[in-house]
Structure 1
Amino acid sequence: MAVVLDTSTSVPDRRLAVWQDIVCDTFVGLDCRSDMDDSFWGAVTQSTIGPVSCTRVDSCAQRVFRTPSRIARASEDYVLVALGNSGVNGVFQDGREAVVSAGQFVIYDTTRPYELRFDEGFSQTIFQMPRKLLHQRIGAFNALTATTFSANRPLERLAYEFLIGLSRTIDQVDPATANRLMDQGLDLIAMVFADRMHQHSHDQSFHRSALLYRLKNYILSHLRDPELSMPRAAAALGISPRYASDLIAAEQTSFRSYVQMQRLERCKRDLADPAHAARHVSDIAFAWGFNDLAHFSRIFKQRFGVAPREWREHPTP
């Protein structure tokens, strides 16, 4: 169920202070400034999809700052994807500036300073997610913060429309379905990032990032195959197994560990999904590429602290 917070019940001279409390509770520690004085107004409507929050923000002219001092006092590691509904937003991070209006979106990172500038009333839909959800799909994407993703590009338009549609659907479907839809949305975002990186393929760092995305995408597309291997994945990309190993080693993991983690996460999801209640634990494990039930049960418990059957009976958020 969506949670709605707004400044309408606050006395006029307290609304900006109340608004700052609202945005800090909704997102991360931020500082808000505005010249609207007593006419300031703002409202947020927030829903959640597992670890991801989806928030519609409607407000007036203001500037929002994520400062070094705020970051130093925080432990959050989030990425925000902000989609423009109306109005114009300036986003400043990592020495870049993006201007975002209706039909466009931008990404920024809570672990580094940023500034948001709104010169007039605006409406945005913001997906806030742990960095790892994107990082596991594409690797580093720091070079794409404060970049305008526009409806002029077909893939970017598709991602925008899908995410906006998802934001309107979250509270009308069951949590398991919402999580699956969110997975599709994250895959689309990763594809958009990879497409932008490909356009900068002359830059070696972009080239490596694009290859890493292709490697991860191959892995995720073949998780159900028990014969998935590093040589097979490398051959599909046209690179050597050693180079593929180096690419994924830069993520502080190995090919085997990454595959195992992704398979476990999907088994965990399916075990908690009522749609799979009639399936045996072994059916789900084997469907995601495991071929030894005892081994699966052991590493599942090592990873999540409970056995697969315990998780199925008592899943926790």
Structure 2
Amino acid sequence: MPASQRFEYWLDMICRTYVHLDCASPEELPFFGDIEFSSVGPLRFTRLSSNAKRVWRTPACIRKEAEDYYLVQLQRAGHGFVRQGGRQAALAAGDFAVYDCTRPYELHFDSDYHDVTVLRLPRTCLETSVSGMAKLTATTITRQSAAASLLMAMLETLHVDLDKLHPSSADSVSEGLVSIIAAGLRGLPEANLCKASNLQTYHLARIKAYLREHLRDPGMTVGSIAQALSISPAHLNRLFRNEPLSLAKLMWHWRVEGCQRDLADPRQAARSVGEIAYAWGFSDVAHFSRVFRERAGLSPREWRAARREAMQVPAAEN
């Protein structure tokens, strides 16, 4: 781009790629920026380098668009700072932090060059795995942690080999990325202030294992799980009091995830949306469509068409 147009073009590009933002152009040096973006499952990941030193999201930016994402910034080169909710995460190469685009935040870079990878993921991806996210944003997960090392290695591999990833594997890979990020967040001291007892952890693991095993059973309810595991329904609900989702919501969430994987799989293109919903334990298509839209932001047919378009797979009749 001509030098006189670079900054405006850059600001428009990052707003379209991430969320609506404001950005300060460097005063001392000519502006430059480079951005590469791609998607894996529901995640968008971007590799970005620039000499812009300050980016911020204000309440006015938030009011312009109803974007509902978490952003994960992995620092590759240079030093950065993420500020949100009165906290500041200082990031050196290999560190990462998470911030919430529904609340104001600021990004600062203290050198004339920075290189970062940013992941944009739907809010529900993290909030089903990590409690108390409002207290965990803008907190550094350091490069010394296993989560940061794994995230860096996985993103490096995807950057090089994304075109080799089979479309039907994309959602599983994205789930792996989210699990690594969640593991890093759960390792923060703030995430362990109300740590569950060993007995609670044992019961929760039993319940979730049973739920996974019987997820496709349309007759499964909170009551039937309690009966099968010899736990009273009241105690079962108490066990999930500090979990991100209640047991009932977790059951529907996992069923929708299973439907999403099947709807995105080209090998299952001949199956109708209804067939896939019934196979994952839904007994009412209207209820399925409502729960699916709450999670994905699209109807099942819209989501399937969008995934096929992204994969360049011809759509079949539903």
Q: Does 1:147 align with 2:139?
A: yes
| Larger CA deviation: 104-113 vs 279-288 | 279-288
Instruction: Report the equivalent of 1:243.
Output: 238
Aligned to 1:109: 100
Larger displacement relative to structure 2 (143-152 or 279-288):
279-288
Describe how 1:247-258 pairs up with structure 2 within 5 A.
Answer: 247=242, 251=245, 254-258=246-250
2:41 matches 1:50: yes
Q: Contact 2:78/2:114 (CA < 8 Å) preserved in 1? A: yes
Matched, 1:26 2:21: no
Alignment check: 8 A CA contact 1:61 1:119 kept = no
Q: Is the 8 A contact 1:83 1:104 kept in 2?
A: yes
Change beyond 3 A, Cα 1:144–1:164: farther
Once the two structures are superposed, residues 245-278 of structure 1 have per-residue CA deviations (whole angstroms, 9 ceiling, x without a partner) of 5345x75xx4224302311321331243135569
Given that 1:63 and 1:116 are in contact with CA atoms closer than 8 Å, whether structure 2 keeps it comes out as: yes
Q: In structure 2, the residue corresponding to 1:53 is in which secondary structure?
A: strand
Taking structure 1 as reference, are residues 32 and 282 closer, same or farther at Cα in structure 2, changes over 3 Å only? Answer: closer
Judged with a 3 Å threshold, the aligned counterparts in structure 2 of structure 1 residues 103 and 304 are, in CA distance, closer, same or farther, namely: closer
Measured at CA, do residues 255 and 21 of structure 1 come closer, stay the same or move farther in structure 2, by a change above 3 Å? Answer: same
Q: 2:151 aligns with which of 129, 152, 159?
A: 159
Q: Give the match's secondary structure for 2:61.
A: helix
Question: Is 1:17 aligned with 2:8?
Answer: yes
Q: State the Cα distance separating 1:129 from its structure 2 match.
A: 1.0
Cα 1:96–1:303 change in 2 (3 A) is: closer
Does structure 1 residue 196 correspond to structure 2 residue 191?
A: no
Equivalent position of 1:79 in the other structure: 70
What letter corresponds to residue 173 of structure 1 in structure 2? L
TM-score by length of 2: 0.75
Which residue number in structure 1 is paired with residue 309 of structure 2?
none
Post-superposition CA distance 1:203-235 (Å, at most 9, x none): 34x769xx89x9599637842335785548999
Superposed, 1:175-194 pairs within 5 Å as 175-194=167-186
Moved more, 75-84 or 35-44: 35-44
The question of 1:273 aligning with 2:268 is answered: no
Q: Which amino acid aligns with 1:23?
A: I
Q: Matches of 2:206 and 2:63 in 1, distance apart?
A: 34
The 3-state SS of whatever aligns with 1:98 is strand
Equivalent pairs: percent with the same residue? 31
Residue deviations 1:23-51, cap 9 Å, x none? 11111111111334561100111101233
Q: 1:39 to 1:216 in 2, by over 3 A?
A: farther
RMSD: 3.8
Query: Which secondary structure state, in structure 2, belongs to the residue aligned with residue 142 of structure 1?
Result: helix
| Counterparts of 2:45 and 2:97, CA distance in 1 | 15
Give the 3-state SS of the residue equivalent to 1:58 in structure 2. strand
* Aligned residue number for residue 310 of structure 2: none
Match of 1:91 in 2: 82
Distance 2:29 2:228 in 1: 60
1:119, distance to aligned residue in structure 2 (A): 2.1
Alignment CA distance shift 1:25-1:272 (3 Å): closer
- SS at structure 2 position matched to 1:43: strand
Query: Is the CA contact (8 Å cut-off) linking 1:137 and 1:216 kept in structure 2?
Result: no
1:66 partnered with 2:57: yes
**TM-score, normalised via structure 1 length:** 0.75
What is the CA–CA distance in structure 2 between the aligned matches of 1:266 and 1:300, rounded to whole Å?
12
Q: Give the letter aligned to residue 80 of structure 1.
A: L
